[in-house]
Amino acid sequence: MITDRSQVTALIQSAKITKGIKWSEIAEVVGQSKEWSTAACLGQMAMTKEQAEGVGALLGLTDEAVAWLQIAPYKGSLPTEVPTDPLIYRWYELVNVYGTTLKELIHEEFGDGIMSAIDFSMDLQREEDPKGDRVHVVMSGKFLPYKMY
């Protein structure tokens, strides 16, 4: 019996590694970007019935696991407030080093408000570079102004 979404994430990770399937192949089945599809598999997004059944078929999940994939999960993918994994830590470091900079520049351009993390999309690509290839990430989030009332 599955009692927690993180168990489904573990099942997906295990099946993916044993079967040697790539995230981009899963994304094709899901029919969305590799970024959204991976996040959904890792317990951060809720799938539609069709998406969940597609992933279930590809990875050999039970009906119960497929049902859990359609539920909005308790989000947050990191085990500690400050991530210990070096790849993920670099992103935390960017928020720490550039956080006040992002705040100042967005406020200068848009006024008081935030950049949405919900009405948001992300695209990650390899950027070829003779001095060493780069990770090129584009993020786009709707600006939401604070409401006065």
Q: Provide, rounded to whole angstroms, the least separation between the CB of residue 91 and a copy of itself.
A: 5
**Residues with a known catalytic role:** 90, 93, 116
* Complex with a copy of itself: residue 57 or 104, whichever CB lies closer: 104
Q: Provide, rounded to whole angstroms, the least separation between the CB of residue 68 and a copy of itself.
A: 6
- β-bridge partners, 67: none
* Complex with a copy of itself: residue 57 or 94, whichever CB lies closer: 94
**149 touches 140 (CB < 8 A):** no
- 140: Cβ contacts below 8 Å, ≥ 6 apart: 120, 121, 122
Q: Provide, rounded to whole angstroms, the least separation between the CB of residue 53 and a copy of itself.
A: 15
89-94 CB contacts, 8 Å cutoff, 24+ apart: none
- Containing 55, the helix (H) or strand (E) segment is helix 49-59
Per residue in 72-101, is it b (16+ CB within 10 Å) or e — as a string?
Answer: ebeeeeeeeeebeeeeeeeeeeeeeeeeee
Q: Provide, rounded to whole angstroms, the least separation between the CB of residue 55 and a copy of itself.
A: 14
**17 touches 6 (CB < 8 A):** no
* Complex with a copy of itself: residue 57 or 105, whichever CB lies closer: 105
